[in-house]
Amino acid sequence: MKIGYARTSTTEQQAGFDAQLRDLAAAGCERVFKEQVSAMGHRAELEAALDFIREGDTLLVTRLDRLARSTRHLLEIADRVKRKHAALNVLNLGMDTSTATGELLFTVIGAIAQFERQLLLERQREGIAAAKVAGRYKGRAPTARRLSDQVRELAAAGSRSRQSQSGSGSVGPVSIGAWEPSYRLLSGNDQDDPKK
């Protein structure tokens, strides 16, 4: 059975997401696990796909970077697939780990993909440093502080957790706790204080 996995980091990347789904369907996937979440966070659908595959199945992805962000993580996923006596297929590379050559190429290309990612991050840091020197870098908008009045109002109204104080989700619970430790005093809530 062919099982597909599609992922984009954000919901704004809908065109890329749709293209992945289209390519996986064209490749004959009978079931597709899909999610729009960062590769750095928990990926429930990837876990579900890895749990779902059985002996003789093939897990298909359109591109290597849709599967993992580091060589180590990529090799861990490949090992999980291999232990289930299944194969991994990367469509844009025509790479299939069911062959010895495919497995070798998979490892080498995974290392190159990680190298490219590190170069990209290095160039990004250099660009930010240059923009700061030129006085053009403003940084990310401080969402949590900008919405502090809203958070305080929710806490004063009796919200019982950081999650509910984050309102519509534009401010994460961790951000609230990082700059507003007094949220527990405002709401009388210390249940999600990690020190308790």
Q: Which of 89, 91, 90, 6 is nearest to 45 (CA)?
A: 6
Q: Phi/psi at 11 (nearest 5 deg)?
A: -75, -15
Residue with the two structure tokens 């990310």: 140
Q: Return the domain boundaries, the chain.
A: 2-115, 143-187
Is 182 considered catalytic here? Answer: no
pLDDT computed for residue 185 by the predictor:
47
Sheet of 87-90, strands arranged across: 31-36, 2-8, 58-61, 87-90, 95-96
Q: Which residues does residue 8 pair with via DSSP β-bridges, in sequence order?
A: 36
Q: pLDDT higher for 164 or 141?
A: 141
Q: pLDDT higher for 153 or 9?
A: 9
- Of 14-28, 52-66, 135-149, 175-189, which range is least confident? 175-189
- Of 8-12, 134-138, 163-167, which range is least confident? 163-167
Average pLDDT, the chain: 79
* Residue 184 reports pLDDT greater than 60: no
Q: What is the mean pLDDT of residues 82-104?
A: 88
Q: Among residues 9, 98, 148, 161, which one is catalytic? A: 9
Q: Is 85 helix (H, G, I), strand (E, B) or coil?
A: coil
pLDDT computed for residue 64 by the predictor:
84
- Of 2-11, 87-96, 110-119, which range is least confident? 110-119
Topology of domain 2-115, CATH:
Rossmann fold (3.40.50)
Q: What is the mean pLDDT of residues 110-136?
A: 87
Compute the distance between CA of residue 110 and CA of residue 104 in angstroms, rounded to an integer: 10
DSSP classification of residue 159: -
Q: What is the mean pLDDT of residues 138-156?
A: 70
* Residue 16 reports pLDDT greater than 70: yes
pTM: 0.57
pLDDT tens string 35-45: 988 877 788 99
